[in-house]
Each structure stands twice: as structure tokens, then as C-alpha cells.
Amino acid sequence: MEKERRAAEILAACCQGAAAAASPEAVLARMGEANRRKALEQVPGLQGLLCCVFPYFNRLDGGNLSLYARGMDYHLAARKRLDRACEALEKEFPGFQFRGYADVSPFPEVYACAWAGLGAIGKNGLLLTRRWGSYVFCGMIATDLPLEGGEEPQKCPDCGLCLRTCPGGALSQDGRLDQSRCLSALTQQKGELTLEQRRLIGRSGMAWGCDVCQRVCPANRGPEQTKIAEFLENIRSSLTAEELEGLTQREFRQKYGDRAFAWRGVVPLRRNLALLSQEKDSL
């Protein structure tokens, strides 16, 4: 298992989190035919997975932005670090190919990280790690370097706190998520919302995302803080309607394009802030 240990060390150093190696068979078996075909086309001869977690800032109370969206957009931060890791792995293991993924991936990244032993899977579908709780982003590198490892993922302790406290009742005992009732999903949704969905956002106090199921989770009691600079610098906890007033889509992207809350554009955020204001006025 020497190559597995060395490859994981390289990835962990680049992501400043935790990493582990695993064989890909179990992960591929959980994928649909289209995603499985895409994965094998992107990395011909796929024989190994290197999975990692990027811990993000988790200590700021208050605000109307989800904790994951308060620092740099994780797609940008993870992409840079995964590219660096792939370069280092290619030098360490010449002749093999390495391809990094962060969210935009044919792989079920949470399951892959759990299969590699990096954490359990919560009822909310998030990875629960020992050091950082669920305040982590998942990433992975697929390779044709033969790697071993992996075991059936652990499940959460099943305390039921996330199910009972979810504002929209979006979680279920079998781990399925109802997107139409998930506050985090609704704050990102474009187009018309039902009256119930609009009220849910208005009462939440959140302009983007929702951290309720994470805040109540026992796995998130006393998590370590991240050491990743991109998630520690220029922390923004809130947005206001005044900051977005008059901005075109282009101006909004120029101003906030390096933030995770920017990918849907300015319209959903304006709507959410208006709903929060209406709820405040009604009270």
C-alpha cells in the first residue's frame, strides 16, 4: 500500500485537508450508465481514485449567507489545488494520468469520499468527517494508476436532529432530499416559487443557502478550523439589497464572480432579499 499512502500524502498536502486512496469499482457500480461511460472516456484505463476534503470556514455566526459561500468560491479554490496535486502526482508516478474533479463531475463525490474512508454519510447527504464535521467540500482525482482501498461507507448515528429541524421538511429517513422543500435549493432556484416556498425563504433569514441541518448535527460540535487561505480571507457574512441595487448581470459577475453565491446571477438574490424584507415588515 506504499503508493496509496504516498499519493494520498501528496493530495492532502495540496488540499490542506485529508485524502485517501481507493479502488474505483464500488463507485462505478453506483453510477448510471451515462456517467460511468463519461468517467471511463475522460480517464481511459481508470484504476484508482484519490479522494479528498477541503475544510471551509465554520466559526462565523449571524449573517444571511450560508457558511460555505462566505469565502472564495470553492470551485475556484479546489480547482487550483487539484491542478497542483495532479502535477505533483505526475512527477511522482511518471507515465500515469491524473484528472481532478470538484463538484462538476460524473462521480458521486460524497459516496466516493466515504468509500475511501474520509467520513460517514449523513441523512442530509453530506460527508461527516471527524476533524471538520460536515463543513468540507469534496474533491477527487481519477487515475489509471492501480490503487487499492475502500470499504462500505459508515452511516451517521441516526439521531434524527436534522430531520426534525429542517425548515422545509426536506429530509427523509432514507436519505432522500426533496429539492422542492429544501431551503438551500430554493434560494438558488430561478423562476417562480410557490407561496409556501416564498414564505419559507422569507422566514429563514437567509439570502443564500441554509445551515440548519449542519448546525444541529452532533458531528459539527467543535470542528477544527480550516487552514486554507482562500476560505479564511475576505469573509463576507451577508448581502444587502442596497449592494445589489442597479447592478447589471455583468457588473454583478465582475463584483462577486469569485463567490459561490454568484453562479445563479443577481436575480434570485434580489428576490430572496425582497422576501426577507417583506417578512420583516409584516412582523
Q: Give the residue numbers annotated as catalytic, written as ranges.
A: 103
Rounded to 10 degrees, the C-alpha dihedral 186/260/32/152 comes to -100
User: Does residue 74 contact residue 137 with C-beta atoms inside 8 Å?
Assistant: yes
Contact predicate 24/142, CB 8 Å: yes
DSSP state of 135: -
Alpha helices, DSSP H, located in 93-240: 109-115, 161-165, 183-188, 195-204, 212-215
Rounded to an integer, what is the distance from CA 283 to the centroid of its chain? 34
- Those residues whose C-beta lies under 8 Å from the C-beta of residue 91, and which sit 6 or more positions away, are none
